[in-house]
Amino acid sequence: MKRLLLAVAALFTVVALAGAVGLPDLAGAQDSPEGDTITVTGIGSVEAVPNEAQMSFGVETRAPTAKAAVAANADAMRRIVNALRQARGRELATQWVSVYPVTNDTGAVDGYSASNSVSATADVNDAAALIDAAAEAGANQISGPGLSSSNAAALHRQALGNAVAEARARAEVLAKAAGRSLGGITSISESTATPYPYAERAALDSASTPIVPGEQETSASITVTFSLR
C-alpha cells in the first residue's frame, strides 16, 4: 500500500513540474494545415492623348580651325536657343558639345567640325512651331518628338486600380468554378509597364511641321493571391 501511495505522489509531482516549467503541449504543437489560395494575374490599361513633346535641336558648323568652328557654332546655337524660348520651348538643357577634325580622301585634316545639341520640352500644340522656329534659326540636326503625358503618374495609378479589379474578377470566376468563394488578398506584386502609342489623332496645322500625337496606352500588370473559403 505504501508503494502505491508513493507512485501516485510521484505522478502528481511530474504533472505539477510540467505545468511549472511550461513543457510543450504535444496536442497543441501539431501544425494546422495552410489554407487554400488562388493566384491570378490582372492587367489594367488607360488611354490618353499625350500633351507634352520632348525634342532635340542641334547645329553643326565647319571651319578651317577648331577655334573658328567652335566660335561659329556658339553663334548659331545662341540663335537657336533664343528661337526655342520665343516659341514657348521650356526645360532647355545642353545635351552635348563636340569638336573633331574633318579629313579629306587622302586622310589629311581638311578643317574642323563643331556640334552642339540642346533638348527642349513643349506642349504638343506648340511642337510644330518649335521645330519650325529652330530650323529657321539655323538648326540642322533635329530629332524627336518623344511624346508623354504630364499626368503620367496619375494614369499609372488608374491603370493599377483597373488591374486589381481585373484580377479579382478573374479569381471570382475560378473560385466559383471550383465551388469556393474568395477570401482576402494574401499577397500582391506589380510588374513594370511603359506607355506606348495606341491610335492616331488628327494632325496639327498643315502649314507647320505635322505632329500627330496619337493616343498612348498606359498599362499595369499585377499578380494577386487570394485566400479561398
Tens digits of residue pLDDT in 168-222: 999 999 999 999 999 999 999 987 655 555 434 444 444 466 777 778 888 999 9
CB 59 within 8 A of CB 74: no
Q: Residue 24: pLDDT band by 50, 70, 90 thresholds?
A: very low
Q: Residue 34: pLDDT band by 50, 70, 90 thresholds?
A: low
Question: Tens of pLDDT along 123-142?
Answer: 998 999 999 999 999 999 99
52-148 and 37-49+151-228 share a CATH fold: no
CB 198 within 8 A of CB 217: yes
Question: Tens of pLDDT along 76-100?
Answer: 999 999 999 999 999 999 999 999 9
**H/E segment holding residue 16:** helix 2-21
Q: What cell was used for 75?
A: 553663334
Q: What is the pLDDT of residue 197?
A: 53
Q: What is the pLDDT of residue 18?
A: 42
Q: What is the four-CA torsion angle of 166, 169, 172, 178, rounded to 10 degrees?
A: -80
CB 201 within 8 A of CB 216: no
pLDDT exceeds 60 at position 15? no
Beta-sheet strands, E only, within the chain: 37-48, 52-63, 90-103, 109-123, 141-148, 182-191, 196-199, 215-228
Asked if the bond preceding 64 is cis, omega within 30° of 0, the reply is no
Q: What is the four-CA torsion angle of 20, 22, 23, 26, rounded to 10 degrees?
A: 130
Question: Tens of pLDDT along 45-57?
Answer: 998 889 999 999 9
Q: What is the pLDDT of residue 216?
A: 83
Q: What is the pLDDT of residue 144?
A: 85
CB 150 within 8 A of CB 210: no
Query: Where in the chain are the domains?
Result: 37-49+151-228, 52-148
- Residue 201's φ and ψ, nearest 5 degrees, are -125, 180
Lookup result for grid cell 500627330: 212
Q: What is the pLDDT of residue 81?
A: 96
Span 37-49+151-228 CATH architecture: 2-Layer Sandwich (3.30)
- Residue 170's φ and ψ, nearest 5 degrees, are -65, -40
Quote the mean pLDDT of the chain. 81
- The fraction of the chain above a pLDDT of 90, given in percent, is 61
Lookup result for grid cell 485566400: 227
Quick one: fold of 52-148? Alpha-Beta Plaits (3.30.70)
pLDDT exceeds 90 at position 31? no
pLDDT exceeds 70 at position 29? no
CB 92 within 8 A of CB 120: yes
pLDDT exceeds 70 at position 28? no
Q: Residue 22: pLDDT band by 50, 70, 90 thresholds?
A: very low
Q: What is the pLDDT of residue 21?
A: 42
Q: What cell was used for 179?
A: 465551388
Q: What is the pLDDT of residue 8?
A: 39
